[in-house]
Amino acid sequence: MLRRSLFVLGLPLLAVGCSTSRGGGRSVRGYEGGGGQSCVPFARQRSGIALQGDAWQWWTEAEGRYDRGGSPRAGSVLVFARTARLRTGHLSVVSRVISAREIRVDHANWAPAGTSARGMIARDQPVQDLSDAGDWSVLRVWYPPSDQFGVTAYPAWGFIHSARA
């Protein structure tokens, strides 16, 4: 009931991380197939970064193995922190850098649980840096079905770059 109320009030992004998913070949505005793929194998395949574990574990796992930082680069993996809404964190792959405060990402399974877009892939989706320091530690993510940014501010660890450390 709470999810339905929040959705109606315009707070549609109740993502719960990227561990379990549904999805498939359905057509949902802003998304494409994905076969129920979660964000972890999608990010691994898309970026070439060979890390294991849940999304929130990637930041620590990358230490000493890959370059990490607070500035985006095309092909880098953006690591969202684990929160109550993102129980396993989330990974997105930077498709392009628009400005110091905006990037585009490709990611799988970024849709509210129980929706038909769950487990699908969203490509070239805007992400804004909301952090005071401009370090990409607080983000707002585009929500395709509403054609606008979601209202939730998500914490992030930063970017894992494909170059080995």
* In a domain? residue 5: no
* In a domain? residue 122: yes
Sign, CA torsion 62/19/123/138: negative
Phi, psi of 76 (to 5 degrees): -75, 155
pLDDT in tens, the chain (165 residues): 333 333 333 333 334 455 443 334 444 556 677 666 789 999 999 999 999 999 999 999 999 999 999 999 999 999 999 999 899 999 999 999 999 999 999 998 887 666 767 777 888 999 999 999 999 999 999 887 788 898 999 999 999 998 775
**For position 52, which CATH number holds?**
3.90.1720.10
* In a domain? residue 1: no
Instruction: Confirm if 110 and 123 have CB atoms less than 8 A apart.
Output: no
* In a domain? residue 77: yes
The two three-digit tokens of residue 13, written as one number: 């992004």
Please give the model's pTM, rounded to 2 decimal places.
Answer: 0.80
Any residues with CB less than 8 A from the CB of 56 and at least 6 apart, and which? 17, 79, 80, 81, 82, 86, 88, 89
Q: What domain range is 57 assigned to?
A: 37-164
* In a domain? residue 19: no
